[in-house]
Amino acid sequence: MAKKKSSIEAYAEIINELKKKIYKPVYFLTGDESYFIDKIADYTSDFVLEESEKAFNQSTLYGKDVDAPAVINAARRFPMMSNYQVIIVKEAQNIRKLEDLEIYLKAPQKSTILVICHKLKQGDSKGKSEKTRKVMALADKIGVLFESKKLYDYQISGWITQYLAEKGISIPPVPANLLNEYLGTDLSKIANELDKLIITLPPDAKKITVEHIERNIGLSKDFNRFELTKSLGERNILKVNRIADYFSKNPANNPLTLSLSSIHQYFLKIFKYHFLKDKSNGNVSVELGVNIFFVDEYKNAAKIYNPRKCVEVFSILRDYDLRAKGLNNDSTDDGELLREAVFKIMH
């Protein structure tokens, strides 16, 4: 069985085909990662038709304003003085009786490029209904079905590297991970910040460094969650305490819950490493979902924290997460809770 493409791979394939003017009659774009859906819709809107063709041959409809018959009527029109017409349906998850699109998908207009943007909230089951599945299956049969899924945290650094590479800019693993830690997993937000960073680069610069990030985004290269977990992995008591102290003085930019979550993810990788049969750098990189550049860091951390200690760390983190949310905690502030937690982890 062929390996299923990731959202990143499937997105790149669709854009490459569009650039080659290989068009399909239907693009059903669904999922909880809106970034890829928006980018595909934007590309079809901007580049499929010439500007002179758009006035009569390009329409944007909104799901809350139309029903399935209205979409079908628009899609069945013939283009005027053009080979194609483009119909983009945004917020298609709000279309009344979406399943009625089956009628059109069974006999689509060859000169129409119908782009259906069917966004879902994370964990939303609406896209899983049997009626919607039938529409998706038909779209997959005659055109493109693209399921845009939220990227896992470990995929973000790679996506950042790829995004910048497409613009002729490189970024080493450390600053890429710093951006991931600071900006989270919202691709639209990350892309916006990366575009701002590119603008701030000197004309001849083609590389984003930690210094660029520190100067333009405000993220400290020495006091961040990436450095916190690394220092914990080294059991560098002095540095961990300095970072914890910095976090306690800057709580708005360093929420305790995010710090605890980062520590949990870090130790989960250490715990998983202990049970890998193949501990070669390449396999560790794949299994842990980390850049090969950081593999030695996890190998060294595993020498300090055995599986039993990792389980103890998970228990500590669970306890302090509950206390951060007010359970069994009347007055201790977040800064003190973090200092207590990291002390227990390292001792």
For residue 138, is pLDDT > 90? Answer: yes
CATH of the domain at 298: 1.20.272.10
Q: What is the pLDDT of residues 245-304, one digit of tens each?
A: 999 998 888 899 999 999 999 999 999 999 999 999 999 999 998 888 999 999 999 999
Please write the tens of the pLDDT for every residue from 94-115: 998 899 999 999 999 999 999 9
Q: Is 322 among the domain residues?
A: yes
Q: Which of 217, 247, 266 is the last residue of a domain?
A: 217
Q: Are residues 269 and 300 in the same domain?
A: yes
Which of 185, 217, 249 marks a domain boundary?
Answer: 217
Residue 283: both structure tokens together: 């396999």
Statement to judge: residues 272 and 313 lie in one domain:
yes
Instruction: Specify if 80 maps to a domain.
Output: yes
With respect to residue 237, please indicate whether it lies within any of the assigned structural domains: yes
With contact defined as beta carbons under 8 Å apart, do 220 and 172 qualify? no
* Residue span of the structural domain in which 271 resides: 225-346
pLDDT band at 333 (very low <50, low <70, confident <90, very high): confident
Regarding whether 232 and 105 lie in a shared domain, the answer is no
Q: What is the mean pLDDT of residues 36-53?
A: 97
Q: Which pLDDT band holds residue 1 (cuts at 50, 70, 90)?
A: very low
Q: Are residues 116 and 71 in the same domain?
A: yes
pLDDT at residue 330 in the model: 67
Identify whether residues 229 and 342 lie together within a single domain: yes
CATH code of 169's domain? 1.10.8.60
Residues 121 and 236 in one domain: no
What whole-number distance in Å separates Cα of residue 38 and Cα of residue 18?
A: 15
Q: How confident is the model at residue 91, as a pLDDT?
A: 95
pTM score of the predicted model: 0.79
Q: pLDDT value at position 2?
A: 47
Angle CA 37–150–229, to nearest 5 = 140
Helix (H) or strand (E) holding 142: helix 130-142
Check pLDDT > 90 for residue 22: yes
31-35, 110-114, 332-336: lowest mean pLDDT where?
332-336
317 compared with 333, residue with greater pLDDT: 317
Question: Is 2 a domain residue?
Answer: no
Structural tokens at position 338:
């973090």
**Position 98 in a domain:** yes
CB atoms inside a 10 Å sphere around CB 73:
11
Within a domain: 239 = yes
Same domain, 139 and 13: yes
What is the domain count for the chain?
3
Assess whether pLDDT exceeds 60 at residue 33: yes
List of residues 6+ apart from 310 with CB closer than 8 A: 267, 270, 271, 274
Say how far apart CA 305 and CA 100 lie, in whole Å: 57
> Alpha-carbon dihedral of residues 239, 245, 246, 250, nearest 10 degrees?
160
Lowest mean pLDDT among 1-10, 41-50, 309-318: 1-10
- In this structure, are 329 and 304 located in the same domain? yes
- At position 78, the amino acid (one-letter code) is F
**Residue 1 covered by a domain:** no
Same domain, 104 and 207: no
Does 179 share its domain with 195? yes
105, 129, 148: which is the final residue of a domain? 148
DSSP helix/strand/coil, 119:
strand
Phi/psi region, residue 91 (left: phi>0; alpha: psi -120 to 50; beta: rest), is left
Average pLDDT over residues 11-21: 96
- 102: in domain: yes
Res. 244 pLDDT band, cuts 50 70 90: very high
The CATH number linked to 23 is 3.40.50.300
Return the SS3 of 147: strand
Residue 178 structure tokens: 């710093």
Q: Which of 69-73, 240-244, 267-271, 324-328 has the lowest mean pLDDT?
A: 324-328
Q: Same domain for 85 and 72?
A: yes
Q: Is 255 helix (H, G, I), strand (E, B) or coil?
A: coil
- Residue 148's alpha-carbon distances to 7, 28, 151, in angstroms, are 6, 10, 9
**Whether 32 contacts 118, CB under 8 Å:** no
In the chain, the amino acid numbered 202 is P
Residues 107 and 48 in one domain: yes
Model confidence pLDDT, tens digit, residues 165-202: 999 999 999 899 888 888 888 899 999 999 999 998 88
